[in-house]
Amino acid sequence: MNTIEIDGSQGEGGGQILRTALSLSMCTGTPVRIHQIRARRPKPGLMRQHLVCVQAAQAVSGAEVQGAELGATELHFAPAAVRAGDHRFAIGTAGSCMLVLQTLLPALMLAEGESTLALAGGTHNPMAPNWHFVSRVFAPLLQRMGVTLETTLHRHGFYPAGGGEVDVRIVPAAGGPEPFSLLERGEARAAYAECLSPALPRRIADRELEVLGEALGWQGEALRNLPARQHEGPGNALMATLEHEHVTELFTSFGEKGVSADQVARRLAKVVFGYRAGGAPVGPHLADQLALPMALAVHRSGRPGAYLAGEMTEHAWTNLEVIRRFLPVDIQVGEHPHGWLVKVATALA
């Protein structure tokens, strides 16, 4: 089988190119060679969290791999058959273990049986989908495809300490995943804010919730200080969840040194205002996350799928380009009054 060549410097030039290429290589059984890995990052090449993604993909698929070492800028990955089962992967740093899940999920949701993953690392990272997003936003959409994704958080993990622990259960759809159309939010059902701030003074969380509540008009039970153990920090994540009939969206603002509680809250309020005003059901991060499972569902079923996104980030555009290299699907992205309409169909012969 011919090897697909992927330029890791294309588009946003980050780790998502590596992860999507590994996922699709496993799903299709196609060998892939990735060069200039993370070329657009300050420290190019494989960092610890990326290396664990490669090692996890190798363990699940029995792949032959060349170049799997820290700092490597070129990797050759030739998968065998994907094996459902029980797996355990630990990053050993605060790198996101949810990105390990992101790498393995597409292949395991197409596998012959149920799989479980025990993952350790970061669970709430600024540059990755956090555990709350995966469980609250992403998993219900996979369920619409017929795929069960259950996640259990045992311990939070923040940068720089890490130490998060998550168990995952993946049950493939009987008969294969089915695509769907997500073009409207539907009726608004709930909106609330939550703050995680382990090992930080309580006043920080209180202030973030107060400022966010004043900006968005939320109060009382809509402002929640989530329990977290001291040894899970220090860390700070302020989250806003908006539940609608057809979709739930979650947005996060992370605290960091030199950034005040007011700034953290106002930054999140701005994002929520933008989503509310836009009208599209799919936010910018979900638009990226949804692309690969939707394309796989279309490819396997032969039926079309679509979603309306308020924004298409460079990350999302790059992800679509990698998907097109592996799958015979036609992905059309067109401007829409509420953003961008992403339509996926089987490619014409």
Q: Give the per-residue pLDDT at 320.
A: 97
pLDDT of residue 14: 87
Rounded to an integer, the average pLDDT of 159-180 is 95
Quick one: how far is CA 290 from the chain centroid?
8
Q: Which two tokens stand for residue 327?
A: 């799958």
Q: Which residues have a catalytic role annotated?
A: 315
Of 37-51, 104-118, 162-176, 177-191, the poorest mean pLDDT is in 37-51
Taking only the tens place, the pLDDT of each residue in 241-296 is 999 999 999 999 999 999 999 999 999 999 999 999 999 999 999 999 999 999 99
Given this model, what pLDDT does residue 228 score?
A: 85
pLDDT computed for residue 12 by the predictor: 85
Residue 81 reports pLDDT greater than 50: yes
Q: What is the pLDDT of residues 296-323, one digit of tens each?
A: 999 999 999 999 999 999 999 999 999 9
Q: What is the pLDDT of residues 184-210, one digit of tens each?
A: 999 999 999 999 999 999 999 999 999
Both tokens assigned to 320: 């679509």
pLDDT at residue number 233: 87
Sign of the Cα pseudo-torsion (51, 7, 31, 180, in order):
positive
Instruction: Report the alpha-carbon angle 124-130-132, nearest 5.
Output: 110
Whether 127 shows a pLDDT value over 90: the answer reads no
∠ CA 69-165-286, nearest 5°, is 80
**Span 20-29, mean pLDDT?**
97
pLDDT at 164: 95
Q: What is the mean pLDDT of residues 8-33?
A: 94
Q: Which residue has the tokens 């709930």?
A: 190
- 93 band by pLDDT with thresholds 50, 70 and 90: confident
- pLDDT bracket for residue 230 (50, 70, 90): confident
Q: Is the pLDDT of residue 1 over 80?
A: no
Sheet holding 64-66, edge to edge: 4-7, 32-35, 74-78, 64-66
- Is the pLDDT confidence value at 349 over 50? no
Pairing of strands 305-309, 339-346: antiparallel
- Give the mean pLDDT of the chain: 95
The mean pLDDT of 117-131, rounded to a whole number, is 95
pLDDT of residue 161: 86
Residue 23's alpha-carbon distances to 77, 84, 129, 148, 324, in angstroms, are 11, 14, 17, 18, 13
Q: Mean of the pLDDT values across residues 323-348?
A: 95
Q: Say what the alpha-carbon torsion angle 151, 307, 281, 314 is, to the nearest 10 degrees.
A: 80
Q: How does pLDDT run across 71-80, given as a tens digit for each residue?
A: 999 999 999 9
In this structure, the dihedral spanned by the alpha carbons of residues 304, 274, 237 and 195, taken in order and rounded to 10 degrees, is: -110
Other beta carbons less than 10 A from residue 212's beta carbon: 27
pLDDT greater than 90 at residue 40: no
